[in-house]
Chain A
Amino acid sequence: MNNAFSKFHPLSSFIYFVCVIGFAVFTQHPIIRGIGLISGICFFILLNERNVNKELAFILMFFFIIAITNPLFFHDGKTVLFFLHGNAITLESIIAGISMSVMMISAVFWLWCFGIIFTCEKVMYLFSKISPKISLIISMIMRFIPLLKDRHKQTQGCQKAMGLYTSDKLTDRVKSAVRIFSILVTYALEHSLETETAMRARGFSSKKRTSGLTYSFKKRDSLLLAICLTLSLALLFGAVSEKLQFYYYPSLSINASYSTSVMYLLLFFILAFMPVFIEIKEAAMWKYSLSKI
């Protein structure tokens, strides 16, 4: 993990992500959706953690279908481009479909970034204070699943070696899979017995739990939090007073004057591109301090 944004305190980066994803997904305005998409892609490229070529092709295809099918279902809108089997295909519904799919792709990119920044430990750190029991359960499950995976592999190999695992017909495969699953269940429940004894022996629930990781809330964390909350409140005000409303039908129109909507778009631009700025600034600082040596 070699990026600047993941070094922020989990609380402020979590709130940041909630704000950005919320606005990028729940506003109707096509330009806000576009800004959300571009900033999400920039951030994702800067993070440079996951190779997603395969998934990307599938997602692009899926969203292309949404953009195409929207004008086939909705025939509202003023500007008729042409008729298809007696149904009007309008410019407005095409734009609405494209904007819809832009929103969905931006949500995917932002959630990928969220997944890279928010590792399991950070989630645990954040939520172990609010709900110790459930975060304990989640962390135990996260350990248990790989354990089950290993055990499943062993059991399957064993059954194959004994000639009990058949894969000729689908029903046989299901039967074998169910048998192995049943073996796994017995193992898991026995394992739970041991865990329970061990936990009780070590005094679980006798005192408050402590977290292994510690993050300190620094000045820059509060700065990020303050900027993020101020911008979000301003944008929320815009959304509540319907200044951010965008109408696709009957013709493309906005509720606010030109200058007001430019101001709100600028606010969202700053909010969405904040991590990109931070990454670039940190990289530049690194370069600069290198050249001095």
Chain B
Amino acid sequence: MTKPLVKILLLCAAILIFAFSFVNAAYVPAIIIVAACSVALFYYRFEHREHTTALLILITVMTSLSVFGRFIFAFIPGFKPVTALVIITGMYLGKEAGFLTGSLTAMLSNFYFGQGLWTPLQMLVWGFIGFFAGLLWIQLQKSRIILILYGIISGVIFSVILDFLSVLWIDNSFNLKQYLIIASSSIPFIIIYAASNTVFLLLLKDPFARKLTRIKTKLNLQVN
């Protein structure tokens, strides 16, 4: 099949399922299927473009590091370098690498931390965090304040979206009261996420910039 045809088919399927599920008020399957389809579209695009071996290897290394980062800092719950690493990958290796690192980290680390139906949504959100970091790479590399703001915002958004899904799941309807209860119970986690993103971005940005720039010249890799 030709490239655009597959894309259009996937998109149509996603929209149809989405519309159909909304008519039948099955919001959770709709969200999960649409998230899975959009991740699949990204992967499809990646699959059909020319890439150097170097970029594949660097994506592998960054993803393994961020999956492993979830283990090293397991002694403080919620305090993980994952988002920071995804942002750094997006900044220095381009938006595609950022998306792949984010989504693959979500999928693979869930093999250890518990796979569930929320995995596609988690993959999409983490992927987009890396993707937008790749889009905004000039601003993020230049200014520390924007970088920290980006880290905090992505931590908050990640938590808010997943809370939203769990509220929808519990009774298939959006109940504001229940959402607020769940959200307030996750406020400490949001604070830890935001704080850990900030700390890790500040700690890891400069060493990673040095190391990745060096490896990029060594591998003769051009990104962005």
Contacts and interface: CB of A to CB of B under 8 A. Distances in A.
A66 B170 contact: yes
Given A73-B177, A73-B178, A191-B61, A205 B100 contact: no
Interface string B23-52: 010101100000000000001101100010
Contacts, number: 120
Contact of B203 (A26, A148, A178, A180): A178
B115 A111 contact: yes
Interface in B207-224: 207-208, 211-212, 215, 218-219
Contacts of B81: 181
Contacts of A74: 171
Q: Is the interface of A mostly helix, strand, loop or mixed?
A: helix
A195 B219 CA distance: 11
B175 A73 contact: yes
B57 interface: yes
Contacts of A178: 203-204
A145 interface: yes
A173 interface: yes
A136 B56 contact: yes
Contacts of A177: 72-73
Given A141-B64, A144-B64, A152-B68, 18 more contacts: A25-B117, A100-B170, A131-B47, A134-B43, A137-B60, A173-B75, A177-B73, A181-B65, A181-B69, A181-B72, A185-B207, A186-B211, A189-B61, A189-B215, A192-B58, A195-B57, A199-B53, A199-B57
Nearest to B20: A240
30 contacts: A70-B170, A73-B178, A96-B171, A100-B170, A107-B117, A131-B43, A131-B44, A131-B47, A134-B43, A137-B63, A138-B104, A144-B61, A144-B64, A145-B64, A145-B108, A148-B65, A174-B76, A174-B79, A181-B72, A185-B65, A188-B65, A189-B58, A189-B211, A189-B212, A192-B61, A193-B218, A195-B57, A196-B54, A200-B53, A242-B24
Interface residues of B, number: 53
Nearest to B50: A205
B59 interface: yes
Interface of B: 24, 26, 28-29, 43-44, 46-47, 51, 53-54, 56-61, 63-65, 67-69, 71-73, 75-76, 79, 81, 100, 104, 108, 111, 115-117, 170-172, 175, 177-178, 199, 203-204, 207-208, 211-212, 215, 218-219
